[in-house]
Amino acid sequence: MIRFEHVTKRYADGTTAVDDLSFEVAEGELVTLVGPSGCGKTTTMKMVNRLVEPTSGRVLVDGRDVTATDPVELRRRIGYVIQQVGLFPHRTVLENTATVPRLLGTGRAAAHARAAELLDLVGLDPRTFGDRYPDQLSGGQRQRVGVARALAADPPVLLMDEPFGAVDPVVRERLQSEFLKLQSRMRKTVLFVTHDLEEAVRLGDRMAVYGHGRIEQLDTPATVLGAPATPYVADFVGADRALRRLSVTPVEEAHLDRPPVVRLDDPLPRDGARAVVLDADGRPYGWLPGAAEAAREHGTTREHGTAPGHGTAPGQDTARRPRTVREGARPMEARVPLGGSLREAFSAMLRYDAGWIAVVDPDGDGRYLGVLTPERLHEALRRSVGGVTPR
């Protein structure tokens, strides 16, 4: 747990970087600090591991005033990830990752084994990357090593200062997703500085919006976006905050439709409605057009007689018509986990031009739970951005 009590930092030249700051990051919580350049985010963070000392007030980590702790020992207990990752150029990726455990006295073999585990955890195969040097990695890979290295001593507290700042938006989004997955397992206490509002919204259990040296609002992303506390925050989160809310509004049970379900090995229902097709493990496999829909399509094919690879010999139409669910099933690629964001669902719907999105169990094996239709998605979107609740 990290606690700031009336902390002020005035630099020697008189700049007040942080002004009477009080807030707390609970154990296992990830708080993002977001705000314009120069508003004191980095200074706040550096006061936790004593790279900067407060002018007044106290910073406590796990109840202990950091100024009463030896800075070297403190920094070993607090993982620190920065944008310019600061890897040692003449050490391999594995050696870089094992740095802190080695400093803490762990034997070489054990430290390397742990480092290999961590590299794996952040998505770098230690057999491929372990023996490389930092300049043989891409920017995104270096960032991952930075995260792995910060985790190596298993610190309860992580400070992350624009850790994904140096990579392009696509890689950044992937690193964010992976980090979220990791955090849901590790539950570290994290202070995460970013310029990027999307990132702050996506990653934070809570987000602190900074004005000059002060926090203007500290709350869940949904609340900051939905009910900005001050005109400054409203301005900062922008006019399109309603849209941003989509990123933080989860797909819920109540949004789901439950059309008929058939199994892959079932016989084809004759007069059925459109159905969802599940495989033997209860995962979505595809969808089956309703009888009327299928007949319409076959009618069209017969009329034009142009289906590729088929002649016009009598009886072929019947042969072409599927007889089992497996033959008749069409792919259903668009899927989101329950609890995934409406934004994710919306973008899957657009990407696959899909009428149905399969909603699956987020834990384990992707079991089918229901579908999200365009109508239900629309309804959920309207509710999320504060529109009229449909009756």
Ligand X SMILES: Nc1ncnc2c1ncn2[C@@H]1O[C@H](COP(=O)(O)OP(=O)(O)OP(=O)(O)O)[C@@H](O)[C@H]1O
Rule CB under 6 A: say whether 145 interacts with ligand X.
no
Question: How many angstroms separate the CA atoms of 18 and 4, rounded?
Answer: 11
* Smallest gap from residue 260 Cβ to ligand X (A): 54
Contacting ligand X within 13-42 (CB under 6 A): 13, 15, 17, 35, 37-42
Closer CB to ligand X, residue 40 or residue 328?
Answer: 40
Does the CA dihedral 275-279-284-286 come out positive or negative? Answer: negative
Residues 193-232 binding ligand X (CB under 6 A) are 195
Q: Which of 6, 11, 169, 292 binds ligand X (CB under 6 A)?
A: 11
DSSP 280: T
Residue from 250, 248, 206 nearest 229 by CA = 206
Question: Nearest approach, Cβ of 158 to ligand X (angstroms)?
Answer: 17
How far does CA 105 lie from the centroid of its chain? 35
Half-sphere exposure of 231 (CA within 13 A, CB side): 0
- With respect to ligand X, which residue has the nearer C-beta, 233 or 358? 233
Minimum Å gap between C-beta 209 and ligand X is 12
Numbers of helices and strands, H then E, in the chain: 17, 17
List Cβ neighbours of 97 (8 Å cut-off, separation of 6 or more).
115, 118, 119, 145, 148, 149, 152
What residues does 56 pair with on adjacent strands? Answer: 8
Considering the complex, what minimum distance in angstroms separates the CB of residue 40 from ligand X? Answer: 4
Strands 78-82 and 30-34: unpaired
- Binding map of ligand X across residues 40-59, x = CB under 6 A, - = no contact: xxxx----------------
**Dihedral over Cα of 347, 348, 352, 358: its sign:** negative
In the bound complex, what is the minimum distance in angstroms from residue 13's beta carbon to ligand X? 5
Please, which of residues 67-106 interact with ligand X by CB under 6 A?
A: none
Q: Which candidate, 143, 233, 160, 246, places its Cα nearest to that of 198?
A: 246
Residues 168-197, one symbol each (x = binds ligand X by CB under 6 A, - = not), give ---------------------------x--
Number of residues located near ligand X, criterion CB under 6 A: 13
Minimum separation from the CB atom of position 226 to ligand X (A): 25
Least Cβ distance, residue 127 to ligand X (angstroms): 37
Residues found near ligand X in the complex (CB under 6 A): 11, 13, 15, 17, 35, 37-43, 195
